[in-house]
Amino acid sequence: MQISEVAKLAGVSSATVSRHMSGGRVRRAEEIAVAISQLNYRPNPNARGLRSGRQRCVGVIVPDITNPFFSDLVGGVETVLAQQGIRVLLANSNEDLAMEASMVADLVDRTDGLILFPPTETDRILDEFVDESVPVVLVDRTMRDSKRADVVLVDNAAGASMAADHLVALGHRRLGMISGPATNTPGRERHDAFLAASASGGDSSVSVQVVVSDFRVEGGYAAMTELLSASPPITCVFSANNLMTVGALRALADHGVSVPDEISIVGFDDLDLADLLASPLTVIDRPSDELGSIAASLLLQRIQDPGREFQYIRLPVSLLVRASTAPPLSISAEPRRRDNHDNH
């Protein structure tokens, strides 16, 4: 089924059908519409893209689609783009730099723009592709040379500081942190800010024990397990993302550590069930779908006007205090129990 058959049936040339389809004013619009629906005609996207250079869709490459933060964010992207009749093609890089590069290479010529979450800040992806005039918006993570893309992220430093301040204000002095990789933006910023904020009070009795992990559930489990053997023991922990928080909670449960009595925990990113947990979770919350909708708007605007100034947007985060954080048990209490047998 091709455009020439529609043209024949409607009694016009294929160019006229083409014009009609792209919104142009045409005399025999009615007949063309009838022919199109009668023949169930769908323009071939390859031919169309090849000829016009416009693909009518954008690509989104997320690091982990099973992370609810990213899937919520994609929801925000889709909402904005669907209104413009622009399709969203989603791909999942699994936090893998090579995979991301190959996906970009693939999508760059199939789409009108890309929304990326670079796995590392040293990612050279813009060097390779941005010169090919594909608009790129970076979300949640930047890159060393991100001066050539729009960027939208949250105030990771503020979030991590709020977490540290909250714990210190509760009276905690021996803090634990499950950090993300220092190689990407949220990992680095949350790590640095948590340490800085912990030290900022000038109280030299405040110490932070950091385990660097990988933003995954299993990594959070392992990191929490490691932190439990710290000596002197920590009384609270800050987990730098939602997935690691899940792992940390499971590790705490498996080791019989009670929250918040023995250990307080605050996570970065809210969880759907945070309020229904055995200890409702205190978290740093951030507006995930707003991140997505802003990213989509930025991309839309850049597609329309490639010459406009690059935007760099930071959204605020907030502290949601629930029941997983509390003052530490008195130091005079007897040493807490720590059974290190893994029971899965």
Give the interface with DNA as residue ranges (CB under 7 A).
2-4, 11-19, 21-22, 25-28, 41-44, 47-48, 50-52, 54
CA distance 140 to 142: 7
The DSSP secondary structure of 152-174, one letter per residue, reads: EEE-HHHHHHHHHHHHHHTT--E
Residue from 249, 257, 263, 326 in contact with a second copy (CB under 8 A): 249
**Phi and psi dihedrals of 59, rounded to 5?**
-105, 145
Provide the 8-state DSSP code for 289.
H
Residues 6+ away with beta carbon under 8 Å from 211: 176, 177, 178, 179, 223, 226, 227
Least CB distance from residue 21 to DNA, whole Å? 5
Work out what residue 27 binds among DNA, a second copy, none; the CB cut-off runs from 5 to 8 Å by kind.
DNA
Contacting a second copy within 164-223 (CB under 8 A): 217
263 binds a second copy (CB under 8 A): no
Task: Find out whether 307 and 147 touch, Cβ atoms under 8 Å.
Answer: no
Residue number with CB closer to a second copy (193 or 259) = 259
DSSP single-letter state for residue 308: S
15 binds, among DNA, a second copy, none (CB under 5 to 8 A by kind): DNA
Which amino acid, one-letter code, is at 17?
V
Q: Are 19 and 26 in contact (CB under 8 A)?
A: yes
Shortest distance, position 314 Cβ to a second copy, whole Å = 24
14 counts as binding a second copy under rule CB under 8 A:
no
300-339 positions binding a second copy, by CB under 8 A: none
275 part of the interface to a second copy, by CB under 8 A: yes
Residue 13: contacted member of DNA, a second copy, none (CB under 5 to 8 Å, by partner type): DNA
Binds 127: which of DNA, a second copy, none (CB < 5-8 Å by kind): none
Torsion of CA 177, 181, 185, 186, to 10 degrees: -40
**Cβ closer to a second copy: 188 or 286?**
286
- Is the CB of 6 or the CB of 206 nearer to DNA? 6
- The residue among 93 and 185 lying less far from a second copy, judged by its C-beta, is 93
CB-nearer residue toward DNA: 51 or 344? 51
Q: Which span sits near a second copy by CB under 8 A: 101-109, 175-183, 202-210, 326-334? A: 101-109
Contacting a second copy within 34-63 (CB under 8 A): 40, 42, 44-47, 49-50, 55, 57
| Contact in structure between 99 and 164 (CB atoms under 8 Å) | no
Which tokens hold the place of 192?
């640095």
- Angle formed by the axes of helices 3-10 and 14-21, to 10°? 100
The count of other CB atoms within 10 Å of the CB of residue 233 is: 17
Least separation in angstroms between residue 136's CB and DNA is 21
Tell which residue, 235, 289, 291, 238, has the closest CA to residue 262. Answer: 235
**Beta carbon nearer to a second copy, 42 or 341:** 42
Note whether 116 binds a second copy by CB under 8 A: no
With CB under 5 to 8 Å by kind, the binding choice for 22 among a second copy, DNA, none is DNA
Note the helical H segments in 11-124.
Answer: 14-21, 29-39, 45-52, 68-83, 97-107
- The closest of 342, 133, 92, 314 to 218, measured between CA atoms, is 342
Q: Does the protein bind a second copy through residue 271 (CB under 8 A)?
A: yes
Site of interaction with a second copy (CB under 8 A): 40, 42, 44-47, 49-50, 55, 57, 65-66, 68, 71-72, 74-75, 78, 82, 87-92, 94, 99, 103, 105-106, 108-110, 128, 217, 246, 249-250, 253, 271-273, 275-278
